[in-house]
A and B are shown apart, each in its own frame.
Chain A
Amino acid sequence: MAEAQQQQQQEEGGEKEKEEEQQQSSPVEKTEPDEGAEEPKEIAQTTPSRPLLSTRSMSIVDPDDDTPNMIVYRKIEDIITRIQDETDGVPIRTVKSFMTKIPSVVTGADIVQWLMKNLSIEDPAEAMHIGSLIAAQGYFFPISDHVLTLKDDGTFYRFQAPYFWPSNCWEPENTDYAIYLCKRTMQNKTRLELADYEAENLARLQRAFARKWEFIYMQAEAQVKIDRKKDKIERKILDSQERAFWDVHRPVPGCVNTTEMDIRKCRRMKNPHRVKKSVYGVIEEGTQSQSPIHTPLHHCRKGTKEDVEKEIVFLNTQLDRHCMKMSKVAESLIAYTEQYLEYDPFVTSPEPSNPWTSDDPTFWDLEASKEPSQQRVKKWGFSLEDALKDPAGQELFLKFLESEFSSENLRFWLAVQELKRIPQHEVAQRAQDIWAEFLAEGAPSSINLDSHSYERTSQNLKDPGRYSYEDAQDHIYKLMKSDSYSRFLRSNLYQDLLMARKKPETEQGRRTSLEKFTRSVGKSLTGKRLTGLMQSS
């Protein structure tokens, strides 16, 4: 049954979730043995989120650690435990090749197959995707390549030693990396030869650590001595694991680097007490781990009396603010999205087609054309903002206002909008020009402002700036919205365009506009007319 659920998840079109987060539960529950049933049940009750294992997980992550990376490491380590299991895991063997033996390896194909079988994955590509994600973290690695991905073929892979697992919070220093590269050059083994990028790194480190190179060299020699004491086969394995560790922390240029933190967060370490920095027991005194990207911490400003007083003023304004009821807020947000849903290409397919999908730019051509679609014209009726946002809507509204001899309102509004965008050095002059055109005594396009706004504005103009006309603009906008705009929507000019391409909805169309008309007639009879408008015909 759980299997079926798994199937369903995969069938849902091409979704490749980070599978280990989803696929753990059911297959593991299935393999839970009957022997020792009591104990596992108890464990299940206390940590229900962790799937049960028949063998003890090798994971070194504290089960109560719920920091994001640790949760994922734990899941990976549970998989790694199972995959290396003697009976249920992949066949890890020593392979004879030419005159040597290759110890403790498994083929990529075997890993892929195991993942498919044990994590219930149908598509080998998905298994390779998860496998590559696990390899990128360094939990297993190709023995002959620095690039950490999983291939579904005979390529040999080896498992990483728990000592080197990322869950140890490794942040190895450059000195350790230098020691590592150095010691590799000291041994006369082809398999230890440096790759080009490693040779470049070594050269760079030699320059950076010029003054303490003798120390690094000595450490490298000491490491070589230690290594020599180990058994030959053991050394092969350890050397490869050590290399894989460095492939994670000093990756091949161009590869995915799983250890990199967002540089904006680098300053603040997540687990400072757990970070392991030294691979070879070399403690760096003094210098912190430091790349040029670490900027000095700026000190938090200490709260002064002034700060607290400012805070009190701020809080008082907050308190005075009128809070809208949540139910009203919900209503308004729902209404908004519902209204615009038909204009949202993710929900409603645009006509004639979505250019991204059809590779046909007709939709964009139509939008840019002088003849707006009926759907676009309908949107102008949603709000004055929507009408003005669309250049065609703005044009039509202006035309309408001209017919009512009140176009100066919109022209004023547009002029003020422009004032906010022009270069600073032009602002003062333009502000004066606007005054002359719209507000001065005997202005050619005189607008009507209430005396209060008029006073405020003329005061502002003593020191003209981009926002000198905010009050006035607000006032005029509200006027257009409550007065002219509703008449615009009822006007022949707008209605003709709205109904021009309407299909047999015309009856309904006329009825709704008639309703709108009768409602608005009521409104305008009670509304106060501030501008000398002529009746629309």
Chain B
Amino acid sequence: MAAEKAEMDALKKECDGLRAQIEAARKAVNDGSMSAAASGVASVGRVQLKLRKTLKGHLAKIYAMHWSADSRQMVSASQDGKLLIWDCFTGNKLVAVPLKSAWVMSVAFAPSGNLVASGGLDNICTVYNIKAASPKTLRELDAHTGYLSCCRFLSDTEILTASGDTTCCLWDLETGKQKVIFTNHIGDCMSLALSPDMNTFISGACDSLAKLWDLREGACKQTFSGHTSDINAISFFQSGNAIITGSDDCQCKMYDLRSDQEVICYQDASLNAGVTSLALSSSGRLIFAGYDDFNCHIWDSLKGEKVGVLSGHDNRVSCTGVPDDGMGVCTGSWDSFLKLWN
């Protein structure tokens, strides 16, 4: 017994030693701050966006939304038990998908535009074919032991899910079976994002860590710490070398994969509300972050300054999204409305 304990202690000591070395290596490359480097960059000025459309149709809190790859259609999920697919140019509702379980937390559009997926407290990720005459359930992916917090399609044949059971999972849609289970987080996984080249993905969890995973190897490649509370939102910077996270600790952070550490922190003394969601403009220069204070604040990603705000929702902003063509930003709220701004 004592020998086992001694062994464990020795191993743990080795871990601590390695961690200290890693920290030292990180410090060694930390030869200047991002905001200092960006001081020479031209300012974007005050970003004042106009509300272009308000999409009304849901009857309860909107929990999630996702743009289609065509940058025109968008799917939203509400706790009124429906998914709505919108043509954002005309403002029309194209398809309504009734859900078995109203407690939905996440929704995704497949790149092909043929499928949408959703899931929530039922622990199941349900995939629907929306090109059929009426929306048809294609698959029910049922293996998670916790709520489904996020899902993203790789293609019409594979989908990634993040769950409150602390794991992320890659599924094969043909068989409906799990292909790879990504385990490493010790808190509920809240959000995930695919890299531009689709070879890796990142996840944010309630253990305040963000992790980078390799889809091919099925393993965690990097871990980023710094937040002091749940990470609710996560996204890749367009170049694929950096990631942005949003947390309940009221901050957003950018981490760079190459320097393996935090690059810049987006925080403001007047912001006392948690970050619920975030999205980047197509150049990556602007970050749109939805907060619990009913607003969506706009940050200059390089200088770390707040450059604008989108006010108008009567309740928490629960989801934010910028389409691939970057024409504008969509915010969804617990007030049951989606708003389009640019």
Contact = CB atoms under 8 A, between A and B. Distances in A.
Interface of A: 12-18, 21-22, 66, 68, 71-72, 132-133, 254, 256, 260, 262-265, 293, 295, 298, 300-301, 305, 308-309, 311-312, 314-316, 318-319, 321, 323-334, 336-338, 340-341, 343-347, 350, 354-357, 359, 361, 364, 367, 385, 420-425, 467, 470
A249 B210 CA distance: 35
Given A18-B294, A263-B103, A470-B216, A323 B15 contact: no
B19 A295 contact: no
Contacts of A424: 157, 172, 174-175
B186 interface: yes
Given A298-B146, A333-B34, A367-B325, A16 B157 contact: no
Nearest to B12: A308
A16 B312 contact: yes
Given A18-B294, A422-B157, A354 B188 contact: no
Contacts of B143: none
A293 B147 CA distance: 10
Contacts of B21: 319
Interface string B183-211: 00010101000001110000000000000
Interface of B: 4, 7-8, 11-12, 14-15, 18-19, 21-22, 25-26, 28-34, 37-38, 41, 44, 46-50, 52-53, 59, 61, 71-72, 88-89, 103, 105, 121, 145-147, 149, 154-158, 164-166, 172-175, 186, 188, 190, 196-198, 216, 220, 222-223, 230, 237-239, 241-242, 250, 256, 258-261, 263, 270, 272-274, 276, 281-286, 292-295, 301-302, 309, 311-312, 314-315, 325-329, 334-335, 340, 342
B12 to A, nearest CB: 6
A323 B260 contact: yes
B335 A263 contact: no
A341 B283 CA distance: 6
B8 A308 contact: yes
A301 B148 CA distance: 20
Nearest to B184: A314
Given A256-B315, A344-B281, A337 B105 contact: no
A315 B19 contact: yes
B335 A356 contact: no
B309 A17 contact: yes
Contacts of A333: 34, 237, 239, 241-242, 256, 263, 284, 302
Given A263-B103, A344-B285, A308 B260 contact: no
B326 to A, nearest CB: 5
A472 to B, nearest CB: 13
Most A Cβ at <10 Å: residue of B88, B145, B327? B327
Given A298-B146, A329-B263, A357-B52, A315 B238 contact: no
Given A17-B295, A424-B175, A425-B174, A337 B149 contact: no
A94 B41 CA distance: 62
Most B Cβ at <10 Å: residue of A16, A262, A325? A262
Nearest to A422: B157
B30 to A, nearest CB: 5
A254 B72 CA distance: 29
Nearest to A330: B37
A321 B21 CA distance: 12
A347 B298 CA distance: 13
Nearest to B188: A264
Most B Cβ at <10 Å: residue of A15, A71, A337? A337
Contacts of B250: 68
A325 B216 contact: no
B36 to A, nearest CB: 8
Contacts of A329: 34, 241-242, 256, 258-259, 263
Given A263-B105, A264-B190, A323-B25, A343 B282 contact: yes
A265 B59 CA distance: 22
A169 B311 CA distance: 27
A418 B36 CA distance: 43
A311 B239 contact: no
Nearest to B240: A385
A324 B38 contact: no
Contacts of A361: 89
Contacts of A331: 37
Nearest to B237: A333
A295 B48 contact: no
A359 B89 CA distance: 7
Contacts of B121: 263, 293, 295
A315 B16 CA distance: 10
A425 B175 CA distance: 9
Contacts of B326: 343-346
A72 B326 CA distance: 34
Contact of B155 (A312, A327, A354, A421): A421
Contacts of B334: 256, 260
Contacts of A344: 281-283, 285-286, 326
A13 B49 CA distance: 9
A448 B329 CA distance: 45
Contacts of B30: 326
B230 A16 contact: no
Most B Cβ at <10 Å: residue of A12, A13, A423? A423
Contact of B259 (A311, A326, A355, A385): A326
Contacts of B38: 330, 334
17 contacts: A13-B48, A68-B274, A132-B314, A256-B335, A298-B145, A301-B186, A312-B18, A315-B15, A315-B18, A319-B22, A329-B263, A333-B34, A333-B256, A336-B237, A336-B239, A345-B327, A346-B49
A256 B314 contact: yes
Nearest to A18: B293
B211 to A, nearest CB: 11
B18 A264 contact: no
B270 A22 contact: yes
A355 B342 CA distance: 10
Contacts of B284: 333, 336-337, 340
B15 A264 contact: no
Nearest to A70: B272
Contact of A68 (B7, B32, B158, B273): B273
A201 to B, nearest CB: 17
Contacts of B223: 318
Given A68-B274, A324-B259, A336-B239, A420 B89 contact: no
A319 B25 contact: yes
A311 B12 CA distance: 9
